[in-house]
Amino acid sequence: MNETTQLVVASMVFDGAGRCHAPGAILLQNERIVASSSPQDIGAVAEAQKIAFEDHVVTPALVNAHSHLDLTHIGPLPYEGHFADWLGRILAERATTTRQGIRESVLQGVALSRAGGTAFAGDIAGEWSLEPLHAMRLGGLPGVSYLEVFGVGRRQAGSIETMQSMIDSVQHDADGVRLGISPHAPFTCGPELYAAASRLGLPLSTHVAESLDELQFCRDGDGAFAELLKTLNVWDDSITAQNAHPVQLLAETLAANQCVAAHLNYVGDAEIQVLAELGTTVAYCPRSSAYFGPPHNGHPPHRYRDMLEAGVNVALGTDSMVCLDTPERISVLDEMRYLYRRDGGESASLLRMATVNGAVGLGVDPSLVDLSPGPIAGLLALPGRTLADVLVRNDPPLWIMGPMR
């Protein structure tokens, strides 16, 4: 076998595990990392093909911990200010999409994710469809495809049966994409469905504390979501006020190995503590949270920094194209940029959220998205002399190695 040795030299090499060299160099052999350091430390490697990226930062490829690639075809949509109405529109849109349409939308999402430098994605396979799983395998985007299930009130028992027969019908791990399960949210899935999903031993994901309507539903059993369930004719007497925060209600699910909880827009100190103790990964989707409006009723902005400080594994997600402002790509790089511009903070911490933390959440070996010696899922060159410089620009990432297949 021919040995290929490459020496990548850049203004900076940076990963989410604490490695930073400026200028930096990465020595690769057959697309595996041998060393990353300063060019002086690595020295001259006579047989290496040298690849120079002046005015670029080289990082590992990224992990998107929460996407909805099956909504890519809808494109960016304006938000009118009512979450329950918005969700109703998305559900109506989905109901009219054919299997072929879903596959094409996800394949488009896969291509835009690759354009965004994504190595792995945790994708929500919308409402009872295995088509997104097949499309991720076909399109070659590794990660987890979480089959999204719904079932509350009268529909709960039937949903548990359907869920089981669907997961029995498909390979759980093939072409780098694992099957996961995603009970949608505490207002669309009853406790028995959550419990059944948690027992499957598959990677789990769910939406938690995304809106104030959800908090009201869990606490008082009324409000916009109660009305929505009545409109959908699924309401029954099993749905009552539970007088608890969604994080408390879902503790059993959130404690399951590899649970990614999306959003957590509205949490207090007690909930942050619970998330840290349970080892839940939080997929924070900054542009999505901003899209649905600033915090209401005196609630503070998203508490991702408090979560990180408390030891919660916070990763980044894009949510769907519907709430993005980058029609040309789907990338957590743009989530990093959004946070950096809004909050400042350490670029190293943002890169960790966009790589290593996401990998942990998806059950992917984190060393595939850092610069440690060994295999790596991909390398990106990002225009800019420092990571902070990259984050104030809007350039797309360039793949210089990978995607790994």
d(Cα 219, Cα 385) in Å, to the nearest integer?
A: 49
Cβ contact 92:77 at 8 Å: no
Q: Least CB distance from residue 348 to Zn ion, whole Å?
A: 27
In the region spanning residues 72 to 131, those forming contacts with Zn ion, defined by CB under 5 A, are: none
Helical (H) or strand (E) element with 276: helix 269-278
CB nearer to Zn ion: give 317 or 403. Answer: 317
Nearer to Zn ion, 136 or 376 (CB): 136
Q: DSSP label at 397? A: P
Nearer to Zn ion, 127 or 319 (CB): 319
* DSSP H/E element including 339: helix 332-343
- 55 neighbors 385 (Cβ within 8 angstroms): yes
Closer by beta carbon to Zn ion, 105 or else 347: 105
CB of 188 to Zn ion, least distance (A): 12
- Closest to Zn ion by CB, 25 vs 262, is 262
User: Rounded to whole angstroms, what are the CA distances from 215 to 192, 218, 298, 372?
Assistant: 19, 5, 14, 42
Beta carbon nearer to Zn ion, 149 or 377 = 149
136 touches 355 (CB < 8 A): no
- Residues in 278-307 that interact with Zn ion by CB under 5 A: none
In contact, 365 and 359? CB cutoff 8 Å: yes
Nearest to Zn ion of 131, 319 (CB atom) = 319
Binding mask 25-54 for Zn ion (x = CB under 5 A): ------------------------------
Cβ proximity to Zn ion: between 156 and 265 the closer is 265
Give, as ranges, the residues between 180 and 219 that touch Zn ion (CB under 5 A). none
Which residue's CB is nearer to Zn ion, number 97 or number 367? 97
Map residues 237-266 to x or -, x wherever contact with Zn ion holds by CB under 5 A: -------------------------x----
In degrees to the nearest 10, what's the CA dihedral of 139, 140, 145, 148?
Answer: 0
Min separation Cβ 66 and Zn ion, Å: 6
Taking alpha carbons only, the member of 269, 272, 263 closest to residue 295 is 263
E strands in 15-68? 20-21, 24-29, 32-37, 49-60, 62-67
261 versus 262: smaller Cβ distance to Zn ion = 262
Contact 371, 36 (CB under 8 A): yes
The structure tokens listed for 190 are: 């009853």
Name the nearest CA neighbour of 34 among 3, 58, 6: 6
Find the shortest distance in angstroms from Cβ 68 to Zn ion.
5
* Residue 268 Cα distances to 54, 184, 209, 307, angstroms: 45, 22, 11, 10
Structure tokens at 161: 């049966």
Closest CB 318 distance from Zn ion, rounded Å: 9
CB of 317 to Zn ion, least distance (A): 7
Q: List binders of Zn ion among 310-339 (CB under 5 A).
A: 319
- Residue that has been written with the tokens 């948690």 in this structure: 198
Tell me whether residue 36 or residue 206 sits nearer to Zn ion (CB atom): 206
Question: CA 44, CA 39: separation in Å to the nearest integer?
Answer: 8
Site size for Zn ion (CB under 5 A): 2
Q: Minimum Å distance from CB 124 to Zn ion?
A: 6
In whole angstroms, the minimum distance from the beta carbon of 169 to Zn ion comes to 24
Rg (CA), the chain: 21
Query: What is the DSSP pairing of strand 143-149 with strand 24-29?
Result: unpaired
As measured in angstroms, the least distance from the Cβ of 347 to Zn ion is 26
Taking the C-alpha atoms of residue 8 and residue 62, their distance in angstroms, rounded to an integer, is 18
Query: Of 163, 96, 158, nearest to 128 (Cα)?
Result: 163
Q: Where on the chain is the footprint of Zn ion (CB under 5 A)?
A: 262, 319
